Structure 1
């Protein structure tokens, strides 16, 4: 492996001079700089990025911590973060926490050891104090942790109300809800939105709400249990698209049809929602915009540029397809 000493020897200069050229620090004459750059090119020298990070206290790397990489929503979000970071000259390290506090803390420690310049995270377990103790820029995405932490979320309650009202407009009389985990803020907001629409209906009670844990298999089981308990249900609002797809499968398993017997609507707008049979009606989040804004905001903080806003609550829209 070619070292910085080899470059210095090839160019006929000192190691310190090569270092000044690499780090753009200190005076180097134009002729000397060209000789060093030529030597680097001829020897195909690759600087030790860890050493450069230690020297410059900057790695041009950011961390991204998400709770479940198997949920199609998060890879789409990660793609937007990576695209934007790459355009701005940064690399992304992706970490999957499974929503567990031990894994989240472990990844925080690992990312700090790698001298990342900042972190984008979607967390339900980390506190405001833990994040501030990192002393590096952090942006929260998809889930709000604290008003003091830069955040990008969407209109969860508004979207849930829109979904439930849409099913009512389609003539559905008994609308159930497959919610996400009770410890997740956006799952609670979506459940609250649903309840605001149907909560005063004479037929409504808590047994029309089941927990699908934001997972397909759990949603299939929950939907079967729900429909066996309440065969009169003719509409389902699922708090994410993954669970909505599970609900479609459960309805089929029970010998019923979507949407003829039971209309189903999800929340997210993942690409997979267009590939189901029937295609899924959904409340679409601006997933790419969220990742794009999160990466751009984080890098603005890292580079100490002026920040116009530090909290975004982006709008959602209903996309009608075949499942309703």
Structure 2
């Protein structure tokens, strides 16, 4: 295997000069640099990535910590982060925290020990006032962690309001909201938007916690419909939760959307695969992930940010789990 010393000998320079050329640090004359680059090419030399990382305290790697890799929303985000990172010469290390605060802490420490250049955090267990507490540049994605940490989210409150309005406009008179985890800012915002609309309209409603889990949403919905059989509209705080609600309703003999209209939140592709296909409040998932990656790379490369908080618009996607207005007038 070719070493730095072999390159140095071939170029008739010192090993230190080769190191400075490889790491782009320190002064090297133009003639010496050209000799080193020629030697590298002729010897087909490949620098040791581990050694370069230790020297530079930089790995060209980004850590991405997600709370639940089984939720299709997060792989969609990860895909966007990876696409942008690769464009800028960074690789992505994906960490699944399972919503466990200790696991999240352990991952952050492990990533720092590997000299990752920055971290994108999409989990909700940790809170930091600024990135100095973490020790590396950080961006919050689909979560709000601290006021001094760059953040990318969607318009969750307006999305929750749009979901409630759509159900009411489609004739629903008793709404249920399967809310996300308590204390999670994005879930709280969706709840807030829902509440504002139902309070203004005076429509009967009930709110239950279902997190973003399929099984829990199925169980909660079954109990909910058993105690409140006249519920005719459900707003679930995620598409996965909506799928659980539809399964429970179908098992109880309710037809969607004839007896019960359901709307989700996220806009993940599997919503179109359901039968009936899922009406949802779609987040711009790919755009959110791509923006978070670009913001983090700017931080890593000490480039200025225009602002620290980005809220991207959501969109109502009407499919088959809610009725059309003309159907309500028949």
Cα shift at 1:11: 4.1
Cα shift at 1:46: 2.5
Does the Cα contact within 8 Å between 2:78 and 2:289 map onto a contact in 1? yes
Change (3 A) 1:228 1:270: same
Q: Residue 219 of structure 1 corresponds to which residue in structure 2?
A: 217
1:37 aligns with 2:32: no
Quote the Cα distance in structure 1 between the aligned partners of 2:69 and 2:232: 32
Q: Over residues 160-180 of structure 1, what are the superposed CA-to-partner deviations in whole Å (9 max), with x where a residue is unaligned? A: 110011001011111111111
Change (3 A) 1:290 1:202: closer
Cα shift at 1:275: 1.0
Q: Residue 118 of structure 1 corresponds to which residue in structure 2?
A: 118
Q: Residue 3 of structure 1 corresponds to which residue in structure 2?
A: 3
1:318 aligns with 2:313: no
Structural RMSD (CA): 1.9
Q: Residue 288 of structure 1 corresponds to which residue in structure 2?
A: 286
Quote the Cα distance in structure 2 between the aligned partners of 1:32 and 1:130: 43
> Counterparts of 1:1-324 in structure 2 under 5 Å?
1-30=1-30, 32-129=32-129, 131-199=131-199, 204=204, 208-324=206-322
Cα shift at 1:67: 0.7
Cα shift at 1:131: 4.4
What SS does structure 2 have at the residue aligned with 1:257?
Answer: coil
What SS does structure 2 have at the residue aligned with 1:68?
Answer: coil
Which segments of 5 or more consecutive residues in structure 2 lack a partner in the other structure? 323-330
Quote the Cα distance in structure 2 between the aligned partners of 1:174 and 1:24: 66
Quote the Cα distance in structure 2 between the aligned partners of 1:225 and 1:321: 26
Change (3 A) 1:202 1:167: closer
Of the structure 1 ranges 46-55 and 155-164, higher mean CA displacement relative to structure 2 is found in 46-55
Matched positions, count: 322
What is the TM-score normalised by the length of structure 2? 0.91
Quote the Cα distance in structure 2 between the aligned partners of 1:268 and 1:184: 15
What SS does structure 2 have at the residue aligned with 1:189?
Answer: helix
Quote the Cα distance in structure 2 between the aligned partners of 1:26 and 1:162: 57
Does the Cα contact within 8 Å between 2:121 and 2:138 map onto a contact in 1? yes
Cα shift at 1:9: 3.7
Quote the Cα distance in structure 1 between the aligned partners of 2:119 and 2:131: 10
Which segments of 5 or more consecutive residues in structure 1 lack a partner in the other structure? none
What is the TM-score normalised by the length of structure 1? 0.93
